[in-house]
C-alpha cells in the first residue's frame, strides 16, 4: 500500500481514539440529593414487592 494510505489509516485511528478519550474524560456522574435517592430506593422496593406478589 502507498504511504499516504497508511497515513490516512493512522489519522482515522487517532481521531477515533481521541474522541473516545475525550468522551471518557467529559463523562461525569449526576449528583443526586440524598432525599431523592432514598425516595427512589423506596419506590424500587415497592415495585419489587408488587412484582413478587404478581409472580406468586
pLDDT (tens digit per residue) in 39-50: 999 999 999 999
How many domains in the chain?
1
* SS (HEC) of 1-56: CCHHHHHHHHHHHHHHHHHHHHHHHHCCCCCCCHHHHHHHHHHHHHHHHHHHHHHC
Q: Read off the pLDDT of each residue in 7-12 and give the average, rounded to a whole number.
A: 97
Instruction: Please tell me the pTM assigned to this model.
Output: 0.50
Domain limits for position 26: 3-55
**pLDDT in the model for residue 54:** 86
Q: Does the pLDDT of residue 56 top 80, yes or no?
A: no
Q: Does the pLDDT of residue 24 top 80, yes or no?
A: yes
Amino acid at each position: 500500500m502507498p504511504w499516504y494510505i497508511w497515513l490516512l489509516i493512522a489519522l482515522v485511528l487517532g481521531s477515533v481514539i481521541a474522541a473516545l478519550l475525550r468522551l471518557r474524560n467529559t463523562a461525569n456522574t449526576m449528583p443526586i440529593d440524598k432525599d431523592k435517592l432514598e425516595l427512589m430506593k423506596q419506590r424500587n422496593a415497592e415495585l419489587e414487592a408488587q412484582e413478587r406478589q404478581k409472580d406468586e
